[in-house]
Structure 1
Amino acid sequence: MEKHRVVPDVVTSLPKQILKIVYPSGVSVNLGNELTPTQVKEIPKVQWDAEPGAYYTLCMTDPDNHHRDVPYNEWHHWLVGNIPGNDVSKGETLSEYIGSGPPKGTGIHRYIFMVYKQPGKLTFDEPRLKRSVEGRGNFFLTKFAEKYNLGQPVAGNFYLAQFDDYVPSLYKELGA
């Protein structure tokens, strides 16, 4: 994560656990491996070692929204809070999942997943976002974590992706 500047571009410290992420297409996320937008278009299965009775927040963000050389321009792809243990399906979806869609000509992007242990069950005042591009830009994971007193991430992982022929279909579906 340090090699690809996940620290310090997105988080300030490395999580202790590696998040296990497997897509229905059969590919797994493995600390910076390159995947295609076609491979990651559906919601993945995400697992980590959770404490019994604890609640967690999961975020997937792209800090390279327009181009990797323009830092601090995060666009979040997925945000789920109040996850009991590691059962993401029982969490509160704040932003529905959207797979990778790096614009043509913007090079390779980092898609970063982080999980935070919550101090308890939370009341989120974030807008609930459906599968659309609205409200996802100008997101900063560290500010979100500060706002809800989440501390440092407990688990994380990431992959790299660049434009492929699925991206125009994704944009059309999202109304972009």
Structure 2
Amino acid sequence: MLTINLLKANTSKHIVISTIVRNGHTIRGKRPGVARSLAQRLADDERNENTVLLPRVNIGFACKTPSRKEVRQSRIEHLKKQKQNQDLERLSRSNSLSINLDAVRKESNFTAAPFQLKTIADHYGIYKDLFGNAYFIPRINMDIFFTDENKNNHSIFYGNVLSASCTVNEPNITFDHNKNLLIKNFDSSETSYWSILMVSPDTHLFSGKNENFLNWFIGNIPNGGIKNGEEICKYLQPIPAKGFGFQRNVFILFRQSKLIDFQKFKNKSFNDLLDRHFNVLEFYREHQENITPAGLSFFQSEWDESVTKIFNKLNIKEPSFTYDFPRPYLADQKWFPLKQPFNLYMDKHRADHKKINKNYLNKYLFKDIDVPIKYPMAHPIKGVPSWMIAEIKKERLKLFQKMDKS
């Protein structure tokens, strides 16, 4: 907007003249070649219209949630007891009050932690890739840690990252097998049986199918004793491919209603990686009358040299992934490019890149050795374009620096 003031005798008039200034076209959003075309967008819309949305199914143990009235009443009673505790007030005033973190963790495992873990697992796509349209609330908390070759322990939480070398040895797993899961006629004195699966939803590199990869399988575990269980599939460390990124590795704890015959899986050798391709959803459908998922924990692993050793040991060629970067977008050439180095701008639009590389090699590899000037910036440069002056100054300074170092 331009404002012009026209002054007359003792009067003033303001005339507003609106002008349209076009500063050039700017690309908004993703550039051509990367952004989806109209046909792709219409195809996605048509696919979404044909998709039937089904409600998710809870295949785990029922989780009894107290009413808001009961929770509020228990909190009020707890606050009354805390306010009447004089020792607690004295410790708080003297800044010597300590909190029992084990008690807090135990309380959390019975209240909010299972639901928070379900939310985290949904965020990482664990239920979707393993159980499809089903889910469960992890009622049993598992304490899992790996011990590496240097005797260092690496704990598993919910999505933390470990290198593959930290997971070479079998993990140590403990859990509370006496926890009441609201099972009918539950008797803690009876022997309870459990199964543990360690699978990866991302390591289906060799079958070409959308399957899971079985790293470890122990079944018929009596009363939470992992060592007393039946090892169905021997342990194999996670094998994230080079360049693949982070690979998810999931521990699933099932509670069995009785002893189960897993001879079908024991017949496989599991020495071949194709034998380790596994479908968790089909496994659950086959044994859903006798198993119920009760615990969940997972971590992410990334490639290191220990993965190469595994592939060499199995005599298998190691897969490697590299990102195919798209060619950089190059706008149409202009007659007068503003605020851009002339020589670099012209090199971008030269069609023969082999000639550019040849000139570069002739310039830096096969040229005669120039004698450096003692005072390179003191000699004037005349008769050349401005962009070439900068190039000549750079060359002089490089030669001067080499002479100074020698």
What TM-score do the two structures reach when normalised by structure 1?
Answer: 0.89
- Single out whichever of 50-59 and 121-130 deviates more from structure 2: 121-130
CA distance in 2, matches of 1:109, 1:163: 9
Give me the identity figure in percent.
Answer: 22
What is the Cα deviation at residue 164 of structure 1?
Answer: 1.0
Structure of larger gyration radius? 2
Among 143, 150, 160, the alignment partner of 2:282 is 143
CA RMSD of aligned residues (A): 2.0
Cα displacement string for residues 9-59 of structure 1 (whole angstroms, at most 9, x for unaligned residues): 113323222321111130011100000110011001111111351101100
Cα displacement string for residues 114-168 of structure 1 (whole angstroms, at most 9, x for unaligned residues): 010011011113232556225101x111211221224441111000012111101
CA distance in 2, matches of 1:147, 1:39: 34
Q: In 2, are the aligned partners of 1:15 and 1:156 still within 8 Å (CA)?
A: yes
Where does 1:56-71 land on structure 2 (aligned, <5 Å)? Answer: 56-66=194-204
Alignment-derived partner of residue 345 in structure 2: none
Q: In 2, are the aligned partners of 1:112 and 1:156 still within 8 Å (CA)?
A: yes
Structure 2: 5+ residue runs without aligned partners?
A: 1-120, 179-187, 317-406
CA distance in 1, matches of 2:311, 2:223: 33
Pair 1:29-2:156 in alignment: yes
Alignment-derived partner of residue 15 in structure 1: 138
CA distance in 1, matches of 2:193, 2:308: 36
Q: In 2, are the aligned partners of 1:55 and 1:85 still within 8 Å (CA)?
A: yes
Secondary structure in structure 2 of the residue aligned to 1:32: strand
Among 114, 119, 123, the alignment partner of 1:3 is 123
Cα–Cα, structure 1 residues 134 and 72, in superposed 2: closer, same or farther, change >3 Å?
closer
Secondary structure in structure 2 of the residue aligned to 1:146: helix
Alignment-derived partner of residue 391 in structure 2: none
- Letter paired with 2:123: K
Among 162, 175, 181, the alignment partner of 1:48 is 175
Greater per-residue helix proportion: 2
Pair 1:77-2:204 in alignment: no
Alignment-derived partner of residue 106 in structure 1: 244
Alignment-derived partner of residue 166 in structure 2: 39
Secondary structure in structure 2 of the residue aligned to 1:2: helix
Pair 1:117-2:255 in alignment: yes
Cα displacement string for residues 59-98 of structure 1 (whole angstroms, at most 9, x for unaligned residues): 000000147xx99421110011101111111111110011
Greater per-residue strand proportion: 1
Alignment-derived partner of residue 264 in structure 2: 126
CA distance in 2, matches of 1:28, 1:18: 13
What is the Cα deviation at residue 2 of structure 1?
Answer: 1.4
Structure scoring higher RCO (CA < 8 A, sep ≥ 6) equals 1
Alignment-derived partner of residue 154 in structure 1: 294
